[in-house]
Structure 1
Amino acid sequence: MSASEILSASGRWILILKPNIIRKVLAANIQGFLQVRLTVFSLPHARQVWMLFQSLQHLFNLSQHSTMVLRAENLQKKYDRRCIFEQLSFELRLGDSLAIQGANGSGKSTLMRLLAGVSTPTQGRITYLRHGQALEKTEQIRYIGFVAPYLQFYDDLTGLENVLFSLRAKGITPNLHQVESLFEHFALATACRKFVRTYSSGMTQRLRFVHAFAAAPIVYLLDEPTVTLDRHGIALLWDYVAQQRPNIILIVASNDADDIAQCQHRLCIEDFKPKVIYA
């Protein structure tokens, strides 16, 4: 997938800029933070109002991940006349995890692209519900962390610059401390300031994790997440995922037994291929 495809998936059309221009954009407000403020004037119960506000703000923060439902209904995907799968349905809630299995070329990555919103089903629909309300596609991107081997970066930007630019493309103000903590967790604290063209395949895959998780998503879509990783890289991934449960929905497309073991439920994509009846 090209950089332009990745960025257009955020629901915004963005010019593909030269690396030096991107750096200027990032430098303009690299440490901006969104803060909620309340000014209490000389009210008889100013202290009580302030305490109530703090309590409500705390409850809001706790409830940010309180409800999320991912619903796939009667999905079908065709390429020309070839039907990849059909009548595929499932529903997942916070704390749920699903492993998608199937032979190479069976449609695992196709389904993951549909769930990520970078492709559309031929029939059926995918709905993301927050607090019972269906999210528009432009809103969904903020809650999805998508990892796939074919997602590419700007080679002439550093790892950190790639992640920060992607966050801004989604309309998210970067939390630099949070981003740097992710780089540290995935053993890229030093490499994050090096050009991506110098990265090994394993480092690039770990950068994909930082890129996907930097926006604090709720839905983790991991397509063949460990294929280029050594044991240490695999451990870093699943340790991080374990820390986020039960506040996420996890979907893993893989045939690796250890990857599949991370999930409660199984879905074999080949079970949803069209049935051929011979006379």
Structure 2
Amino acid sequence: MSSPNRKGNHILIGMAEHSSIQGAIKRLEQAGYRITLVPFQSSGLIDLEKLASSITTETILISIQHVNSEIGTIQPLERIAKICKDNQILLHSDFVQSFGKIDTTKMASLVSSFSFSGHKIYGPKGIGGVYIDPSISWSPFFPGGTHEKGLRPGTLNVPAIAAMTVAAQRIGNQMHEEYRKFLLLRKAFMEAIEPIKESVQIFQADENAQLPQIIGLRFAGIEGQWMMLECNRRGFAISTGSACQVGMQSPAKAMQAMGLGIREAKEFIRISFGRSTTLDDVVRLGQNIVIIVSEFKTTSVI
């Protein structure tokens, strides 16, 4: 894409953007673009002052993930969109974690483009979508393709597109009910781990800026990899970051964005709730974590 009123080669992205965004950005960097990574505040929200001060006359694009995939914080896209509009800068947002979970109608009208994925809304894997403002001119990354107006080459996967559309319709109808359910599950989990509150640090924003079904936390002195294995041994599947980071030893991107040290960052775990998660599942997970931490004789996070 190219900004209609601005020329340059500078791009700003959130430091905790998903690997798919960071991979594309690295390729652009090799092509001569200058990239600036914007950190998070301690709340897990993008540092808006740092974002604004990083803008130069050469800045043409800002890319900020709507909901962070590791800790579930909902970024202030309205304020970011105003910064972009005031400076005639394009704004892309990764909606993968927010699409179908919270109402994105208003946000969709504020960005220049957004992307989403089918498997996050109980549709098929390997299918997704992207919206680009029709007023924006763009050229294909891979020239010569004719499908999807040249956006990408390859024959369209019609069955997957149809299935994703049905999944989007269904989850849209259930979105508000599911949101209330996840708020209750989050509250129940927090109550379950209350006995070890001195040993746990929870990474979250205020309720109105937090997706309830994603919980990012660390236990002082316990590596996330070990906690994940112990929970798995007890029948619970958690992770040490987003699914695309599994098997990698680097700390979660959100931890780095918030300025945590390597040791603290490696203590991070991610818990997420889905459609089939029950109150009993959540309470039992909390109780088992309390047992694991108590047996480990961990230290305080303070």
Q: How would you bin the TM-score normalised by the shorter chain? A: under 0.3
Q: Scaled by the length of structure 2, what TM-score is found? A: 0.25
Q: Scaled by the length of structure 1, what TM-score is found? A: 0.27
Query: Whose strand proportion is higher, 1 or 2?
Result: 1
RCO higher in structure (CA 8 A, sep ≥6): 1
